[in-house]
Amino acid sequence: DAGVIQSPRHEVTEMGQEVTLRCKPISGHDYLFWYRQTMMRGLELLIYFNNNVPIDDSGMPEDRFSAKMPNASFSTLKIQPSEPRDSAVYFCASSPPRTGLHYEQYFGPGTRLTVT
Amino acid sequence: DQQVKQNSPSLSVQEGRISILNCDYTNSMFDYFLWYKKYPAEGPTFLISISSIKDKNEDGRFTVFLNKSAKHLSLHIVPSQPGDSAVYFCAASALEYGNKLVFGAGTILRVKS
């Protein structure tokens, strides 16, 4: 049973370039989350989707960031243009609906982005 | 505005002893709490959780305690093992906020053999 799949695992790019991060959630999960982890801010939620629809994008830092979920098995996080301060580890996570009895999100391995 | 705080950036414990990781929260709407464990170059993995209707949940060597009046929870690991060395994140959820989790900054646990 495959977990959350992210690609690429590592990305090194130059300032000003477009970066696209990809995520395949666990089959049957209808929630998908994008997080960013930095030393300064820890693990912060950027955006999340329910049934492919963006629900809350209040964590997206600025217009350079965009996320899409064209179908239930694929999502992208795009940064255009990229800047050195975007360097971080980006995690994708998925979950079934919270029932109130039990709830957890399942994380992918992350994409380490370095912008030079 | 950190709603979930882990005030200890790191903790070092001798193998076989108890590890206690602490977490404080400010939002009284939170009703479900989780601990995640993260190894380098991997994503966080779920460890244990507790609902606000309980004050203790135990799973093997791991026990989470919740003190609602103090808005404080802790994770106890007994006995600690070298393989427990990782970053531990506390997270909180509120039914009113849907499926969002709010994470603390994490505590690095080092278990010395």
Q: Which of B74, B89, B91 is nearest to B33 (CA)?
A: B91
In this prediction, residues B94-113 reach a mean pLDDT of 90
Q: Which pLDDT score is estimated for A101?
A: 66
Residue B9 CB partners (closer than 8 Å, separation 6+): B105, B106, B107, B108
The answer to whether B32 faces chain A, any CB pair under 8 Å, is: yes
Name the A residues in 5-34 with CB < 8 Å from any B CB.
Answer: 31
CB contact under 8 A, B99 and A98: yes
Q: Which pLDDT score is estimated for A95?
A: 93
In this prediction, residues B23-31 reach a mean pLDDT of 95
Cα–Cα distance list, A52 to A77, B61, B97 (Å): 13, 38, 18
Checking if the pLDDT of B1 tops 90, the result is: no
CB contact under 8 A, B93 and A98: yes
In this prediction, residues A26-50 reach a mean pLDDT of 92
Rounded to a whole number of angstroms, the distance from the CA of B46 to the nearest CA of chain A is 7
Q: Which of A77, A87, A86 is nearest to A33 (CA)?
A: A77
Q: Which pLDDT score is estimated for A8?
A: 98
Q: Measured between alpha carbons, how far apart are the two ends of chain B, in Å?
A: 38
Contact B103, B43 (CB under 8 A): no
Per-residue pLDDT tens digits for B34-87: 999 999 999 999 999 999 999 999 999 999 999 999 999 999 999 999 999 999
Task: Kindly state the tokens that stand for A55.
Answer: 């629900």
B-chain CB neighbours of A102 within 8 Å are 49
Per-residue pLDDT tens digits for B4-21: 999 999 999 999 999 999
Q: What gap in Å lies between CA A62 and CA A55, rounded to an integer? A: 17
CB contact under 8 A, B46 and A106: yes
Per-residue pLDDT tens digits for A63-111: 999 999 999 999 999 999 999 999 999 999 999 887 766 789 999 999 9
Q: Which pLDDT score is estimated for B77?
A: 98
Q: Count other Cβ atoms within 10 Å, centred on residue B63.
A: 18
Residue A3 CB partners (closer than 8 Å, separation 6+): A26, A106, A108
